[in-house]
């Protein structure tokens, strides 16, 4: 102990050494704590490979913008699709909306004709599908209707379909669909008519919109408005353990049996991971990402601000999130995030937490040993 006492002795040359060591420890701890606040598992580059800007994906299919225009790749296939708008996968089916009137493309796993090549699926005359969503053998489509969108439904078992198209009031601009047990949830925006409440007639406002859609296979699809929000658009709908999350540019909505509830957070793009969490990303320059887990919203700090405008976000079977977009120079940009890393003990935050637990246990053990030793010796304390 005499050596330690000399190091700590007042006005000795060693006290400056101890002070320097203490200062280094404090600074190092502060740096580690700051680093631990950053989201773990973030890497440059995405998990999908395409020679251009990725706009959509479904299974092995990727829709991307190359120098020659929009293209769709699927395994070894790579086709030009100048007016493509969507990809969708449902069980063994992969659909592609190519902007062609009266048809969409389909690949069916196990089909002798449509497994290695895209096949044409007829959807009826005068129908151009922008988005599709399958539920059993029913196919719901967002279709062009003049300057707005409508919903059309058909069965893919019908060889000569005559889709049933909904009628609605006002202009709808629909962007996303999700199949549910009862039918579908559809999201987008409702555009107010010209001069609505004194708005600019040249650019009427658009408000976030979520619809519940059912179809009995006989009559036109039935729609019910379950949410009309602030100015903005719903860009994603995701199923979670106790309901659904609809993400929008103005707000995020929790939908369950009790109705629709605002969560008070906006986003530019979103994705659901394999743990029932929903990740919300901002526009170019955003330095954080929000993660919705149950009813909690955690805001995680990115290692560096987002350098591109997000165009597509996906999550693979291993929980790896890919965020793709457009850089300021119109080149493709991407980052990938391991969605499991933020709660892993191998992350910096996890290592610090584990270190804190071990040090605390060691201190408590030493205190308990000292108390036991004092009692054994009959000491008063």
On whether the CB atoms of residues 58 and 88 are closer than 8 A, the answer is yes
pLDDT at 194: 67
Q: Is the pLDDT reported for residue 37 higher than 80? A: no
Low-confidence winner among 43-47, 78-82, 333-337, 355-359 (lowest mean pLDDT): 355-359
More confident residue, 287 or 347: 287
Phi, psi of 154 (to 5 degrees): -155, 165
Could you tell me the domains of the chain?
42-348 (2.130.10.10)
Q: What is the pLDDT of residue 192?
A: 75
Q: 332: which strand partners?
A: 326
pLDDT at 319: 92
Question: Quick one: tokens of 336?
Answer: 């990938």
Residues in CB range of 203: below 8 A, 6 or more apart: none
Q: Quick one: what percent of the chain has pLDDT higher than 70?
A: 79
Round the average pLDDT of the chain to a whole number and report it: 85
Residue 142 C-beta-side C-alpha neighbours within 13 Å: 29
pLDDT at 142 over 50: yes
- Mean per-residue pLDDT, 273-289: 94
Average pLDDT over residues 292-296: 88
Residue 57, pLDDT score: 96
Region 192-210: what's the mean pLDDT?
A: 74
| Residue 14 confidence (pLDDT) above 60 | no
Q: What pLDDT is recorded for position 199? A: 60
Asked which of 105-109, 175-179, 191-195, 295-299 is least confident by mean pLDDT, the reply is 191-195
What does each C-alpha distance from 47 to 14, 272, 304, 335 come to in angstroms?
54, 16, 19, 8
Q: Which region among 125-129, 159-163, 204-208 has the lowest average model confidence (pLDDT)? A: 159-163
Cα-atom radius of gyration of the chain, to the nearest Å? 28
Which pLDDT band, with edges at 50, 70 and 90, does 378 fall under?
low
**Pairing between strand 164-165 and 171-179?**
unpaired
Q: Are 44 and 335 in contact (CB under 8 A)?
A: yes
Range scoring the smallest mean pLDDT among 60-74, 109-123, 262-276 = 109-123
Which residue in 143, 122, 137 sits closest to 186, CA to CA?
A: 143
Neighbours of 283 (CB within 10 A): 14
Residue 7: pLDDT band (50, 70, 90) is very low
Distance CA 72, CA 326 (A): 18
In whole angstroms, how far apart are CA 95 and each of 47, 107, 112, 343?
21, 7, 17, 35
The encoded tokens of residue 278 equal 């929903």
**How many Å apart are CA 166 and CA 219, to the nearest integer?**
9
Q: What is the pLDDT of residues 206-236, one digit of tens each?
A: 999 999 999 999 999 999 999 999 999 999 9
Structure tokens at 89: 């996968």
- What per-residue confidence (pLDDT) applies to 375? 72
Question: What is d(CA 152, CA 177) in angstroms, rounded to the nearest whole number?
Answer: 13
| Mean pLDDT of the 8-20 span | 52
Number of helices and strands in the chain (H, E): 3, 28
Closest Cα to residue 140, out of 107, 187, 100, 81? 187
Ranking 86-100, 160-174, 246-260 by mean pLDDT, the lowest is 160-174
Dihedral angle, C-alpha 36, 42, 43, 44, nearest 10 °: -110
Q: Pick the residue with more confidence: 27 or 136?
A: 136
How high is the pLDDT of residue 8? 47
| pLDDT mean over 121-125 | 92
Average pLDDT over residues 245-261: 94
- Give the DSSP per-residue string, 119-164: EEEE--TT--EEEEEEETTEEEEEEEETTEEEEEEEETT-SS---E
What's the predicted TM-score (pTM) here? 0.80
Predicted pLDDT of residue 164: 87
Closest CA to 188 of 127, 234, 247, 232: 234
Answer yes or no: is pLDDT of 270 > 80: yes
């Amino acid at each position: 102990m005499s050596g330690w006492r000399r190091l700590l002795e007042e006005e000795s040359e060693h006290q400056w050494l101890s002070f320097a060591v203490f200062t280094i420890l404090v600074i190092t701890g502060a740096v580690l704590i700051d680093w631990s606040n950053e989201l773990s598992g973030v890497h440059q580059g995405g998990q999908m490979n395409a020679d251009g800007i990725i706009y959509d994906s479904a299974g092995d299919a990727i829709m991307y913008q190359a120098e020659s225009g929009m293209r769709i790749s699927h395994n070894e296939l790579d086709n030009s699709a100048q007016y493509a708008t969507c990809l969708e996968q449902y069980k063994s089916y992969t659909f592609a909306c190519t902007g062609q009137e009266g048809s969409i493309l389909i690949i069916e796993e196990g089909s002798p004709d449509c497994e290695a090549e895209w096949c044409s699926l007829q959807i009826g005359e005068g129908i151009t599908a922008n988005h599709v969503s399958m539920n059993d053998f029913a196919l719901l489509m967002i279709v062009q209707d003049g300057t707005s969108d409508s919903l059309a439904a058909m069965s893919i078992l019908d060889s000569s379909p005559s889709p049933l198209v909904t009628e609605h009031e006002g202009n709808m601009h629909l962007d996303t669909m999700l199949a549910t047990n009862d039918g579908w949830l559809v999201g987008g925006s409702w555009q107010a008519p010209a001069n609505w409440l004194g708005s600019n007639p040249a650019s009427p406002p658009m408000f976030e919109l979520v619809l519940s859609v059912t179809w009995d296979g006989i009559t036109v699809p039935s729609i019910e408005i379950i949410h009309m929000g602030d100015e903005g658009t719903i860009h994603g709908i995701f199923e979670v353990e106790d309901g659904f999350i609809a993400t929008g540019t103005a707000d995020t909505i929790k939908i369950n049996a009790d109705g629709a509830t605002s969560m008070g957070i906006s986003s530019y793009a979103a994705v659901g991971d394999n743990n029932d969490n929903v990740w919300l990303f901002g526009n170019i320059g955003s330095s954080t990402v929000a993660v919705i887990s149950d009813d909690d919203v955690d805001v995680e700090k990115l290692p560096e601000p987002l350098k591109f405008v997000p165009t597509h976000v996906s999550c693979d079977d291993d929980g790896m999130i890919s965020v793709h977009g457009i850089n300021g120079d119109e080149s493709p940009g991407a980052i990938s995030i391991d969605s499991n890393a933020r709660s892993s003990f191998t992350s910096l935050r996890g290592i610090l937490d584990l270190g804190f637990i071990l040090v605390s246990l060691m201190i408590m053990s030493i205190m308990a040993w000292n108390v036991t030793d004092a009692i054994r010796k009959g000491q008063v304390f």
